[in-house]
Amino acid sequence: MHEMALAEGIRGIIEDQARAHGFTTVRILRLEIGRFAGVEKRALEFCFDVVMRGSPAEGAALEMIDLPGRAMCYDCMETVEINDRLDPCPLCGGGRLVPVAGDEMRIKDMEVV
């Protein structure tokens, strides 16, 4: 389950930031997750709760913000929002799309004490 590895990576970032900025508790962690990131949100939420035990983020609320998938259409030369990597262009119906966004996952912000 790669969600466990993702949660462990998040813990490492939180611990590094706690040392660098002197906070002891994370109350809320907001993650931005792209539509194509391949993250199972319920699994990540479970792993987050387990992995954060004993860390500054133990008991923190995890908020996940969905980011849309976006692609460049080489038929109409527009950047469009798509739901699936294989969707046709919603503007022109073309099929020559290259995803340009939606596979990212990043910490947007944290509320800390």
pLDDT in tens, 19-78: 999 999 999 999 999 999 999 999 999 999 999 999 999 999 999 999 999 999 999 999
Count of structural domains, the chain: 1
Question: What is the span of the domain harbouring residue 33?
Answer: 2-68+101-112
Q: What mean pLDDT do residues 8-20 have?
A: 98
CATH number of the CATH domain containing 45:
3.30.2320.50
Q: Are strands 61-67 and 26-34 parallel, antiparallel or unpaired?
A: parallel
- Any domain includes 16: yes
pLDDT in tens, 80-89: 999 999 999 9
Q: Are 69 and 79 in contact (CB under 8 A)?
A: no
* Residue 16 clears pLDDT 80, i.e. is over it: yes
Structure tokens at 87: 């969707």
Residue 1's pLDDT is what?
A: 58
Residue 52's pLDDT is what?
A: 98
